[in-house]
Structure 1
Amino acid sequence: MANPRPLDPPHQPLGLRLCLRANRWGAQRVVGSFFRFVSRLGDGVFWYALMAALSIFGGERGLRATVEMAATGLLALALYYLLKRWTQRPRPFRSVDGIVAHVPPLDEFSFPSGHTLQAVSFSLIASAWFPMLIPLLLVFTLLVAASRIVLGLHYPSDVLAASGIGLLLGGGALALGSMLGLGL
C-alpha cells in the first residue's frame, strides 16, 4: 500500500509550505476566530471608523488625511479589479490540496490581496498625518496581511505584492498631495 502524499513535502516552494502551515494553524478554533475577526475589520469597518474619527477629531489635518485615504482607496479598488481580471490566479483553497477557506472569499481570484493593499496604503497615509497611530496601524496591517494567508484566501506572494502596491499608492498619494500644496 502506497504512503499517502504529505501535505507539505520539502520539495514544494517555501510560499506554498508557509500557506499550508498557516492554514492549518487557522483551523484551530481560537486562532481561526481571531483571524476571521481581523479579516472582517479589514473588510472596511476599521478603515471607515478610522476615517470618521480622523474627520471628526483630527481637525483640518484629519480631513486632509481622510480625503487622501478615500482617493487612494478608490484608485486602489480600480487597480485591484484590473489586476484580478488580468491575472485570474485561483485562490489557494481552490488549487492546493489541504488548504481550506475558513471564510467565504469576497471574489473569485487571489492576486493581489485587496485587504492588504488597502491596509498598507491607508496605514501609510494615516501614519504620515498622525505618527502617533503608527504602532496601532502597523500591528493591525500585519494582522490583516497574515489573516489572508491563515484563512486560506491568499498566497504569501499575493500579500507581498499587495504590500508593494499599497506602499506605492500610499506614497504616491502623499507625494501628490505635497506637490499640490494639499499635503503635510
Structure 2
Amino acid sequence: MANPVTLVKARARAGHMDALYCFRMNRWIRERKLHQFFNVVSRLGDGVFWYALMLLFPVFMGAKGFVITALMILMAAWGVYIYKQIKKRTIRPRPFVRYRSIKQGARTLDQFSFPSGHTMHATAFAILLTQAVPWMGFILFPFAVATGMARVVLGLHYPSDVFMGAVLGVLNALLTLVLFSSFL
C-alpha cells in the first residue's frame, strides 16, 4: 500500500502541473487570431456543430441518418447526465475563478470545471460518427482535439478536466457502439 504522505505529495504536484499548463495555454488568447479561433471552436462545441449534423444526417443519409441522429441524441443525454452528476460532486471552480491572472476567454454554460462536457461530447461524437461514416474522422478528431485545447486556452478548464472529459467520451461512445452498432 502506498504511503499516504507520498500520495498527498503526488496529488499536490499533479495539481500544480495542471494549473501551470492552464496558465501557459491561457496566454495564447493574447494573440487576437488565436483567441478568435479557439472562441469559434468552443462556440461550435456548445452544440451548434452537433445540432447541424443531427439535422443533416437524415436529409442526406435517409434511414441510416435517422439512426445516427438518434444515437447522437442518446449519447448527448447520457453524457449530460453523467457530467452533471460528476460536477455536482466535485464542485471544482473554473481556472479563471480560482486564479485572477487567468483570463476568461469565453462564456460558460455552467458553473464548475470538472469534467469538460465539451470535450466529452466532441470525443464521443467523433468516435460514433467515424464508425458510421469513416471519412468524417479526418474532420472530427482534429475538431475534438481543438475543442479540448480551446477549453484550456480560454481559461474554462484545466488539462485534467479535458483529459477526463475525453475519457468519459470514449466510454460513452464504446458503450453506445457495443449496444447499438448493429443498427449502423
Q: TM-score over 0.5 for the alignment?
A: yes
1:72 partner amino acid: M
165-174 or 96-105: bigger deviation: 96-105
Contact kept, 8 Å, 1:27 with 1:102, in 2: the verdict is no
Deviations 1:28-76 (A, max 9, x none): 2111111111111110000011111111102222221111111010010
| 2:68 is aligned with 1:65 | yes
1:136 and 1:36 map into 2 onto residues whose CA distance is 18
| 2:33 is aligned with 1:30 | yes
Deviations 1:116-170 (A, max 9, x none): 1111111111111000100000111111111000000000000000000000001
| 2:23 is aligned with 1:20 | yes
| 2:136 is aligned with 1:133 | yes
2:174 partner amino acid: G
- Which of 90, 94, 105 lines up with 2:93 in the alignment? 90
Q: Which residue of 2 aligns with 1:124?
A: 127
Change (3 A) 1:157 1:12: closer
List runs of 5+ in structure 2 lacking aligned partners: 1-13
- Which of 47, 51, 54 lines up with 2:54 in the alignment? 51
Change (3 A) 1:12 1:59: closer
Provide TM-score, normalisation by structure 2: 0.88
What RMSD, in angstroms, separates the aligned Cα atoms of the two structures?
Answer: 1.7
Q: Secondary structure at the match of 2:18?
A: helix
Write 1 or 2 for the structure with the bigger share of helix.
Answer: 2
Provide TM-score, normalisation by structure 1: 0.88
58-67 or 136-145: bigger deviation: 58-67
Contact kept, 8 Å, 1:80 with 1:112, in 2: the verdict is yes
Q: Secondary structure at the match of 2:93?
A: coil
List runs of 5+ in structure 1 lacking aligned partners: 1-10
Identity of aligned residues (%): 40
Q: Secondary structure at the match of 2:142?
A: helix
Q: Secondary structure at the match of 1:13?
A: helix
Task: Using the TM superposition, give the Cα deviation of residue 103 of structure 1 relative to its aligned residue in structure 2, in angstroms.
Answer: 1.4
- Which of 100, 103, 107 lines up with 2:106 in the alignment? 103
Q: Secondary structure at the match of 2:114?
A: coil
Q: Aligned residue pairs: how many?
A: 172
1:51 and 1:132 map into 2 onto residues whose CA distance is 17
Q: Which residue of 2 aligns with 1:149?
A: 152
| 2:113 is aligned with 1:74 | no
